Amino acid sequence: MLIGAAGCGSSPYRKSYHRIASAPASLAPCRPDEPGVNTPADPQAEGERLRGLGYVSVGYVSFKGVAPDPARDPDILAQARRVGACRVILSANRGGSREVGYGPEDRRVAVYEVSAIFFAKPLK
C-alpha cells in the first residue's frame, strides 16, 4: 500500500503515473492559468466535458493515500507540468483507515483511493 504524505520520498503522483499509449506525442502548450485541478462530484461527466472542449487523456494515477488537497499539494500540479497536462480531474473515495505513529501518539488516519486523470490538447 502506498500512503502519500508530505515530505515522504517520491510523489505518489509521479510514482504511480501511467501514460496512455494512444496519447498524442505532441501536446499544445497550456495557458498561463493552467494546469488546473478539478475535483468534480461526477468525474466521468467532467471528463466528457473536457473531451468536448478538445482535451484528450494523456495519463492517469491511482493509489491509496491521505485525502488529497489540490490547493496545498504541489505534487499534483508538478506532475501535470511534467507530463504536459493542462487539466486534471482528481477524485478520492474513503477506503478505510490505518494506524500511524508508534507509542502514545498512535492514531488512525483515513485512507483514500485516490485517482487522477491528466488531460491536454493535442498540438495541431
Q: What is the pLDDT of residue 56?
A: 97
Residue 48 belongs to some domain of the structure:
yes
Residue 80 belongs to some domain of the structure:
yes
Percent of the chain scoring above 70 in pLDDT: 81
Q: Work out the mean pLDDT of the chain and round it to a whole number.
A: 85
Whether 102 has a pLDDT exceeding 60, the answer reads no
5-37 confidence digits (pLDDT tens): 444 458 899 999 999 999 999 999 999 999 999
Residue 55 belongs to some domain of the structure:
yes
CA neighbor of 123 nearest in space, from 47, 25, 34:
25
Q: Is this structure's pTM higher than 0.75? A: yes
Q: What are phi and psi of 64, to 5 degrees?
A: -100, 135
Residue 7 belongs to some domain of the structure:
no
SS3 4: coil
Residue 1 belongs to some domain of the structure:
no
Residue 104 belongs to some domain of the structure:
yes
Whether 99 has a pLDDT exceeding 60, the answer reads no
Residue 99 belongs to some domain of the structure:
yes
Note down the domain range covering 94: 12-120
Whether 82 has a pLDDT exceeding 90, the answer reads yes
Q: Give 117: exposed, middle or buried? Use CB within 10 Å, 0-12, 13-18, 19+.
A: buried
Q: How crowded is residue 68: how many other Cβ atoms within 10 Å of its Cβ?
A: 22
Residues in contact with 22: Cβ distance below 8 Å, sequence separation at least 6, in sequence order: none
Query: What is the pLDDT confidence band of residue 92, given thresholds at 50, 70 and 90?
Result: confident
Q: What is the pLDDT of residue 6?
A: 42
How does strand 56-65 pair with strand 18-19? antiparallel
User: How many separate domains does the chain show?
Assistant: 1
Angle in degrees, CA 49, 52, 56, rounded to 5: 90
